[in-house]
Structure 1
Amino acid sequence: MDYVGIVLISHSPKVVEGIKDIIRQVIHEVPVELAGGTEEDEIGTSVDKILEATKRAHSVKGVLLLYDLGSAMMNAELAIELSNYDNIKVAKDVPLVEGAYVAAVESGMGKSLEDVLEAVNRV
């Protein structure tokens, strides 16, 4: 079965690693990729890291990007523009931990990108 892939974007690599650990306690099949910190693993975000994580998480059902702070959203949107995919969405104004968990659960049930995004937006 194909699943909506999930990319977790944070200014801190440790934040997204911890969120993925929480998700993996109950959901194993859904692709969850990380784009935390800069290329030097400093605090910040990286369009290149987001693009690479998106490529790894991508499936025919698409990818949902979740982020922590506003500048991460800008880099997520730029990564979408630079990608070759048309089935990528950004979950805007969603709490990262709760949103990522709900996205993984919904994706694990085989739902579409639009359905996963709708569920996340209710968080």
Structure 2
Amino acid sequence: MVGLVFVSHIRELSEGVIALARLVGPDVPMEGAGGLEDGSAGTDMERIAMAIEAADQGQGVLIFMDLGSAVLSTEMALELNPNPTHIMVDAPFVESAIVAAAAAQGGASTDEIIALIESQKDVKKF
């Protein structure tokens, strides 16, 4: 099953997104990498790298980031242990989490999940 990692600047945000995504993907391996070790805001490439490894069950890992500097930290984390099946996704943080979790729960591949997320990028909330 494809794993999902949520990188945010605060722990509560990554944990909250995972809690919401678990409603549609209860069996999907999901890990959060939110905030710094001391509980303050920020991102840590080593925590991100550990979350990626923990979520990897051999089918790939999709990584979602909340803000721009989370992207930089994730890029550095991926450089620590390069793996072509560990993929950063450029998509809305919360909405894509739900789409990805539901698709992964249904057995979709990383490519299928990315295509589904891409197809949803322009969907309006109202």
Assess same fold via TM > 0.5.
yes
* 2:101 equivalent to 1:104: yes
- Displacement of 1:34 in angstroms is 0.5
The 5 A counterparts of 1:29-108 are: 29-92=27-90, 94-108=91-105
The one-letter amino acid of 2:104's match is: S
Seq. identity, %: 35
CA distance in 2, matches of 1:33, 1:6: 6
The root-mean-square deviation of aligned C-alpha atoms, in Å, is 1.1
TM superposition score normalised by structure 1: 0.92
5+ residue gaps, structure 1, are none
SS at match of 1:6: strand
- TM-score using structure 2 length: 0.89
Q: How many residues align?
A: 120
Given that 1:5 and 1:58 are in contact with CA atoms closer than 8 Å, whether structure 2 keeps it comes out as yes
Distance in 2, Cα, partners of 1:122 & 1:20: 22
Extract structure 1 runs of 4+ deviating beyond 6 A: none
Larger radius of gyration: 2
In structure 2, the gaps of 5 or more residues are: 121-126
Counterpart position of 1:121: 118
